[in-house]
Structure 1
Amino acid sequence: MTAQTTPPATAAPPDRPASAWTRSPWATLVAIAFGVMMVALDGTIVAVANPAIGASLGASLAELQWVTHGYLLGLAVFLITAGKLADRFGHRRVYLVGVVGFVASSVAIALSSGVIMLVAFRIAQGVFGALLLPSAMGLLRSVFPPSRLGRAFGVFGSLIGASTAAGPIVGGLLVGSFGWEAVFYINVPVGAVALGLGLWLLAANRPTDAGGRLDLPGIVLVSVAVFALVWALVEAPVVGWTHPVTLVSLGAALLLGLAFVLWERRPEQPLLPLSLFADRSVSIGVVLTVVMAVSLMGSLFFVTFYLQGVRGLTPAQTGMQLIAMTATMAVTSPLAGRLLDRVGAKPPTTAGLLSGSVGMFLLSGMDADTGVLYTSAAFLLLGAGLSLVMTGATAAIIGNAPVRLAGVASALQQAAMQLGGSLGTAVLGAVMSGTILATLPGHLAAAGQDVPSAAGLAAVQSTVAQGGAVVPEGAAADVAEAVTRASNLAFLDGLQLAFLIASGLLMAGAVLSLFMRAGRMEDDQEAPVVHV
């Protein structure tokens, strides 16, 4: 086993225009802000738009999940490759290509006339988002010295966290005023600003790993493996976890993933150097990013159905209900970054996981009459906790990677987050569906209503999982009320169990975070690359 060190992160950045402002590393952060927010926003903005999309295009719950998963699929499958492309051809160039493609695909989504077309363009949108995110984070890694990376990642995490949490708010306002298409058209002005700032403020394009070769076998193996994994996560809640489609997809993901790991030990310039994982903080940071994304994406997906379906709120009211999370994430991440520069990633990450666990536990106690103060307190704890985790885990992964692999390390962090998002909606969705099928008959019987057959329950499960109820045509008012009440109780049974599981995952993550390396990075610290 031999060790090789990379140049320190304090190496002079690429030449910039003459003004003092554009020479500052903070100019880079300003330049990428709108692009980063645009990508993060689109991960959750459709959460509030899902009911409107379903009603407009006649989509089922499974198809609505694909509207979300298609985007995450494009991101997850292409992220590692995009990170390598950014290191190889330059972060600035790849970032600008990502911005242009993201806006173009957003317009195509808004113009879609059917669910299949919409999902296809959502996948394309995710691919361009994959080009954009690692290159943006790579730009930060290359211009900020290690002693100030915490602050940079804090602001970066604030942009991602606040945009992710703001998605339901912005989406609610846009859907309520202009229709679901507006949540995609909004990317046109935002993307124009992102492109303009990028052309003005970003330094001249300079690859950080110009001599690197593209590991084509590695690209194929990891892309197909991730695709198979996400496909299994999407299809399992629909066809079942023991269905041949699910088992074959999971088996393919496992075998191809193993083949990828074995292959990456062979080439001199692998797509994803396995030496990155020799640092335990990097490895733990990846796991904690997955745990954080499971809780964030899983909770946002189903809490909107709760607020609109069970509580009867409008899309705009639903968005405003989540403002406690949005505001908290926006404020907490920069503070976490400053703390991280002083004490390292371990303390804020552990504290964030504990706070998020308590927030999810409170959300697991919601019922049909839960008040605003209770839910706001839960969202406040969840938002503060997840923003701390996002900042700490990001710094643990990227801050401990060599500058020349900044794009790959950034892609690794983002891939963990996107796969966690898919895992969250799939697994929590499976918990929701299974619980509804188990408890709905009892609630209907208690309300004096006929219990459907197994086939009948399967037919109504999708509607109940969206916070709705299948009321018999022509039913009297008291019957309609009883069926709706029973359906809402079954939905809440599933929601409470799913959120309780998410709370437990965050608590387990808090224990794992205690094994992260203590201390903070210094300006003269170099991230080692160990070739195994």
Structure 2
Amino acid sequence: HPAVIAAFVGAAVLAALFVWRERRATQPMLPLSLFSHRLFALTSLVGLLVNIAIYGLIFVLSLYFQRINGLSAWWTGLAFVPMMAAVLPVNLLAPRLAERIGPCPTIVVGACVSALGCLGLLWIAADTSYWMICAQMIAISSGLGLLVPPLTSTLLGSVEKARSGIAAGVLNATRQTGSVLGVALFGSLVAAERAFMAGLHLSLLVSAAVLLLAAVVIGLGAPARG
């Protein structure tokens, strides 16, 4: 649609102007020098990729429960409870695993677990049992719970303590941007008439590919001591 294309063009122009202005500001809102730290740049990118995959997928799964299974918005929300409930206990285990194998390998493991959960849903159909879907949703959220704590700590540890607040803000901004991009991308894939399931399957493949890309980015790009 012309409006969408115009919005992308406008975003590109404004982004270029933002970078131009920040380079010349004496006290920039976003110090671009932060991205000279390899771990900071890598973890910011991973945060973007992970949220594209996870939150875009949550969006299309909520449409699946309502449009295909006929659930109400209330019951659709309850259908995600087991998925979200798995995040907290895995969050508590993540620091221990990071101490054993390192934060970057822990991020890799978490991204791969979520990717496997996405691939495990490729056989989803209109009549698939909720509990079979739920098991894969828990795998997806468990991977997310495993990678977020070391992702955050690695990003904050890559910059000086005086810039921790700015660093946390950048990570939050990149993750929120990823969420918006994921919803927009996957929403467009399932929007076609009578092609929702094909779009859902394609969304699952894209999610798995993006998560594996995030694992490769941090696994191969991070320095050994990271």
Answer yes or no: same fold by TM over 0.5. yes
Cα 1:403–1:429 change in 2 (3 A) is same
1:323 aligns with 2:81: yes
**Is the CA contact (8 Å cut-off) linking 2:53 and 2:206 kept in structure 1?**
no
Cα deviation digits, residues 97-136 of structure 1 (max 9, x gap): xxxxxxxxxxxxxxxxxxxxxxxxxxxxxxxxxxxxxxxx
Partner of 1:468: none
Partner of 2:211: 506
Q: State the distance in 2 between where 1:427 and 1:366 align.
A: 20
State the shift of 1:424 in Å.
0.4
SS at match of 2:23: coil
Q: State the distance in 2 between where 1:324 and 1:257 align.
A: 39
Q: State the distance in 2 between where 1:423 and 1:314 align.
A: 26
Q: State the distance in 2 between where 1:322 and 1:275 align.
A: 40
Partner amino acid for 1:334? L
Structure 2 counterparts to residues 182-193 of structure 1, below 5 A:
none
Partner of 2:8: 250
Q: State the distance in 2 between where 1:512 and 1:383 align.
A: 20
SS at match of 1:265: helix
Partner of 1:120: none
Q: State the distance in 2 between where 1:342 and 1:262 align.
A: 42
Q: State the distance in 1 between where 2:127 and 2:52 align.
A: 26
**Is the CA contact (8 Å cut-off) linking 1:292 and 1:390 kept in structure 2?**
no
Structure 2 counterparts to residues 41-440 of structure 1, below 5 A:
240=1, 243=2, 245-433=3-191, 436-437=192-193, 440=194
Count of matched residue positions in the alignment of Structure 1 and Structure 2 = 225
**Is the CA contact (8 Å cut-off) linking 1:348 and 1:389 kept in structure 2?**
yes
Partner amino acid for 2:48? V
Q: Where in structure 1 do 4 or more consecutive aligned residues deviate above 6 Å?
A: none
Q: Which ranges in structure 1 are unaligned for 5 or more consecutive residues?
A: 1-239, 441-489, 521-532
Partner amino acid for 1:277? F
1:516 aligns with 2:225: no
Cα deviation digits, residues 167-195 of structure 1 (max 9, x gap): xxxxxxxxxxxxxxxxxxxxxxxxxxxxx
**Is the CA contact (8 Å cut-off) linking 2:52 and 2:178 kept in structure 1?**
yes
Partner amino acid for 1:385? G
Larger CA Rg, structure 1 vs 2: 1
| Percent of residue pairs identical | 28
Cα deviation digits, residues 47-81 of structure 1 (max 9, x gap): xxxxxxxxxxxxxxxxxxxxxxxxxxxxxxxxxxx
**Is the CA contact (8 Å cut-off) linking 1:336 and 1:388 kept in structure 2?**
yes
1:495 aligns with 2:200: yes
Q: State the distance in 1 between where 2:38 and 2:74 align.
A: 43
State the shift of 1:420 in Å.
0.5
Structure 2 counterparts to residues 13-24 of structure 1, below 5 A:
none
SS at match of 2:147: helix
Partner amino acid for 1:516? A
Between 1 and 2, higher relative CO (CA 8 Å, sep ≥ 6) is seen in: 2
**Is the CA contact (8 Å cut-off) linking 2:60 and 2:190 kept in structure 1?**
no
**Is the CA contact (8 Å cut-off) linking 1:353 and 1:385 kept in structure 2?**
yes
Cα deviation digits, residues 371-419 of structure 1 (max 9, x gap): 1332122112101111222223222222222222222111101101110
SS at match of 1:370: coil
**Is the CA contact (8 Å cut-off) linking 1:349 and 1:388 kept in structure 2?**
yes
Q: State the distance in 1 between where 2:97 and 2:19 align.
A: 35
Q: State the distance in 1 between where 2:144 and 2:45 align.
A: 14
State the shift of 1:333 in Å.
1.1
Bigger fraction of residues in helix: 2
SS at match of 2:119: helix
Q: Which ranges in structure 2 are unaligned for 5 or more consecutive residues?
A: none
**Is the CA contact (8 Å cut-off) linking 2:114 and 2:142 kept in structure 1?**
yes
Partner of 1:449: none
RMSD: 1.9
Q: State the distance in 1 between where 2:63 and 2:17 align.
A: 40
**Is the CA contact (8 Å cut-off) linking 1:346 and 1:517 kept in structure 2?**
no
Q: Normalization by structure 2: what TM-score?
A: 0.91
Q: State the distance in 2 between where 1:302 and 1:342 align.
A: 36
Q: State the distance in 1 between where 2:29 and 2:117 align.
A: 38
Q: State the distance in 2 between where 1:504 and 1:377 align.
A: 20
Q: State the distance in 1 between where 2:14 and 2:71 align.
A: 45
SS at match of 2:57: helix
SS at match of 2:223: coil
State the shift of 1:362 in Å.
2.1
Partner amino acid for 1:499? L
**Is the CA contact (8 Å cut-off) linking 2:68 and 2:126 kept in structure 1?**
yes
